[in-house]
Amino acid sequence: DTEVTQTPKHLVMGMTNKKSLKCEQHMGHRAMYWYKQKAKKPPELMFVYSYEKLSINESVPSRFSPECPNSSLLNLHLHALQPEDSALYLCASSEKVGETYEQYFGPGTRLTVT
* Residue number, 52 or 79, with CB nearest to another protein: 52
DSSP 52-86: TEEEEE-S--TTEEEEEEETTEEEEEEES--GGG-
Collect all residues with Cβ–Cβ distance below 8 Å to 13 and sequence separation of at least 6: 19, 78, 81, 111, 112, 113, 114
**Alpha-carbon torsion, ordered 67, 94, 24, 41, to 10 deg:** 80
Distance CA 2, CA 49 (A): 19
In the region spanning residues 55 to 94, those forming contacts with another protein, defined by CB under 8 A, are: 55-56, 88, 90, 92, 94
Nearest CB to another protein, comparing residues 2 and 15: 2
Among 19, 22, 79, 110, binds another protein (CB under 8 A): 110
Query: Contact letters (x/-) for another protein, 7-46, by CB under 8 A?
Result: ------------------------x-x-------xxx-x-
Number of residues that bind another protein (CB under 8 A): 28
For the CB of residue 83, give the shortest distance to another protein in the complex, in Å: 19
Binding site for another protein (CB under 8 A): 6, 31, 33, 41-43, 45, 48, 50, 55-56, 88, 90, 92, 94, 97-108, 110
